[in-house]
Structure 1
Amino acid sequence: MVVKLQVYKKSSPNGKITMYLARRDYIDHATHVDPIEGVVSLDPNYVQSRNVYVQIVLQFRFGREDDESMGYTFLKTLYIGNTQVYPPVTDITASEIQRNLMAKLGNFAFAFSIDFPMLASPSYSLQQGRDDMGALMGLEYELMAYVGANESDIHKRSTSRLSVRRLVECPKALYQMPPPRSSLSKTFFTCSGALCIRASLPAPVFRPGENVPVSIIIKNQTSREVKRLKVKVVQQAQVPMFSLKEVKEQTLIKTDEPITLAPGVSVERNVTLMVTAPSKTKHGEVFLQAKAKSEDPDVLAPSTIPNPNVDFADIFGIHVNYVVRVKAVFGALTGDAVLDLPFTLAIER
């Protein structure tokens, strides 16, 4: 049997340096991220006494390009994880793929291995809206191999660049967690008694496109009548490095049911919602997993699984999670009772 292996290749504009990768998607396992392993081939007559480096470039756009004005940009670029490939300064235990590539490319092909930054988040991007033209909020990674006298001596003509993605894998331990359950008892200034809500999900983890069944019990022990029951799936996004309190919420799907729940009456409801990326709006509001190709379908950003050794406030990038929100509505003056059920959205790798 012949096994066909795809290799990604990118040369610098002057053709003097070429980078090879066996893959462009790397899995974030929460405790660690798969290292980027590849091979760089070079022209020794061009490089001469200079060095060849490989570096990860992290680009975090925290606002729309269309909103930039007066020279102000919503973009932060970090050059991180630099490693010297030539002349070799460390011993690399080459993988089988790297050994095969070096054998094919000749004496001036060198293996490298470089790690993603621990503090950065996965590759996310804002959904492209119908009226969006420029770059949108999101986090992207790029691998860069270049020739220079030192690490900061970078010239476009002798630089090879390949985009890579950091994708989330849901740890198996999360699948074994108890199903989400929560309860709420709320009192109101304009009436006596309390409203009690209990809600539960059948599993702690769901995948995009799956149905999410929600079991709800409401006990109206107030002196007012409950008029509506609203249930929705909400994507919550934060940028911890800017604010730990500001949370951007976007409704993915919802139901709005009129009910007549008189004082002293209880009701049970089973609601099923499908977790999927919404159709495009005027401006994108939902975070997606970054695409390998622009024509790829929209896939909701999976829940961010933070590294347990990293302080949440130090995370550089976007943190995404999901909740099912149950809201009992009394109407004007009295107020609402809101209960959130968090769950994990995972994508199979």
Structure 2
Amino acid sequence: MLDPNYVHERKVYVQLVLRFRFGREEDESMGYNFVKTLYLDTTQLYPPLQGGATPTTEIQRTLISKLGNFAFPFKLDFPKLSSPSYVMMQGWEDEGALIGVEFEVMSFVGANEQDIHKRSSCCLMVRRLMECPARFFDLPAPSGCSTKTFLTCFGAVTLEASLTSNVYFPEEDIPVKVSVKNNTSRDIKRLKVKVVQMSEVPIFNDSQTRYKTLLKMDDVVNMPPSSSLSRDYMLMPVVPSKTARGQVFLQGELRSDSPPTLAPSTILHPGVDKRDIFGVFISYIVRVKVTLGALTGDAILDLPFVLAVQQGT
């Protein structure tokens, strides 16, 4: 809604803005900042362009009827290459903003699209969520089998694991079924099952995957050679304590007092390559590890799953 007496002979625009912070605010110095700003979509609202009218929604029509003739509806499109709204969790020692992706809608009055002044603009934070497609729920539940041999002992370890679904929600139990066959000459001492969040920043040439354990179950077992074992575990993906500082991404929130929620998995648009994503790429796995000792090594099996946006968010 605008005041034509204030606009006068100028124009009114609305923009969708993406701000990607790729470094800690407390590390900024000498005028250098770790923020990239992209203006994703711009629409001229006033004066209305000829033939530029777009179909309005029921909510927009209701607002126009209440606000009057100088209320103008608009539509902005999120680009397929931008990630959802993510923010890195702050630890006890962190200060200022950390790595994350934020969006805002900015409207301003100016002579053209580049004539932006703070006194003639207003901003509204928005949050981008990506709904998990229905086809993901119909995919088979993840399962896997791995056989590993070791240099310091004879034989091999066979590790099998499976989940009950391809998609889970934050704070939902994840049942994990694990089977181990010890065909080596060594005893198996430990069996570890954990939920791991993996994060990448694809736009960097030296992008590395960061692994952060969210929840771990350490099971002390005693498996002599030629023995087998089957166990069922229940894990719940939850936000870790602040002592686990760094590299844990949360879902972007509009209010500072909102309860923290784990960042959902990044779901690529069909035809988009992960290396072209602007922002952060998030994925999850359940990792099962069998330990034979410090000198022998481990047998590891990863089961990828999708963490969807919490229902009712």
- Which interval holds the TM-score relative to the shorter structure? over 0.9
Partner in structure 2 of residue 55 of structure 1? 15
Identity of aligned residues (%): 55
Tell me how far 1:186 sits from its aligned partner.
0.9
How far apart, in 2, do the equivalents of 1:66 and 1:231 lie? 35
Partner in structure 2 of residue 345 of structure 1? 307
Partner in structure 2 of residue 70 of structure 1? 30
Please tell me whether the aligned partners of residues 142 and 161 of structure 1 are also in contact (alpha carbons under 8 angstroms): yes
- Larger displacement relative to structure 2 (123-132 or 196-205): 123-132
The answer to whether residue 68 in structure 2 is matched with residue 132 in structure 1 is no
Partner in structure 1 of residue 148 of structure 2? 186
Tell me how far 1:224 sits from its aligned partner.
1.7
How far apart, in 1, do the equivalents of 2:154 and 2:16 lie? 60
- The CA RMSD measured in Å over matched residues stands at 1.4
TM-score by length of 2: 0.95
Please tell me whether the aligned partners of residues 199 and 247 of structure 2 are also in contact (alpha carbons under 8 angstroms): no
Tell me how far 1:335 sits from its aligned partner.
0.9
Please tell me whether the aligned partners of residues 322 and 344 of structure 1 are also in contact (alpha carbons under 8 angstroms): yes
SS at match of 1:191: coil
How far apart, in 1, do the equivalents of 2:230 and 2:244 lie? 37
How far apart, in 2, do the equivalents of 1:93 and 1:172 lie? 27
Partner in structure 2 of residue 289 of structure 1? 251
SS at match of 1:113: coil
Superposed CA offset, 1:49-103 (max 9, x none): 2211110110001121112223322111111201111111111222222222223
Superposed CA offset, 1:305-338 (max 9, x none): 1111211110001111111100011112211111
Residues 109-258 of structure 1 mapped to structure 2, 5 A cutoff: 109-243=71-205, 246-258=208-220
The answer to whether residue 17 in structure 2 is matched with residue 87 in structure 1 is no
Give the structure with the larger strand fraction: 1
Residues 266-285 of structure 1 mapped to structure 2, 5 A cutoff: 266-281=228-243, 283-285=245-247
How far apart, in 2, do the equivalents of 1:96 and 1:264 lie? 68
Identify unmatched segments of 5+ residues in structure 1: 1-40
Closer, same or farther in 2 for the Cα pair 1:282/1:232, shift >3 Å? Answer: closer
Tell me how far 1:108 sits from its aligned partner.
2.1
Identify unmatched segments of 5+ residues in structure 2: none
SS at match of 1:121: coil
Please tell me whether the aligned partners of residues 268 and 274 of structure 2 are also in contact (alpha carbons under 8 angstroms): yes
SS at match of 2:243: coil
Among 258, 272, 280, the residue aligned to 1:310: 272
Tell me how far 1:284 sits from its aligned partner.
4.0
Tell me how far 1:262 sits from its aligned partner.
1.5
Partner in structure 2 of residue 45 of structure 1? 5
TM-score by length of 1: 0.85
- Larger displacement relative to structure 2 (41-50 or 265-274): 41-50
Closer, same or farther in 2 for the Cα pair 1:168/1:88, shift >3 Å? Answer: same
- Larger displacement relative to structure 2 (244-253 or 269-278): 244-253
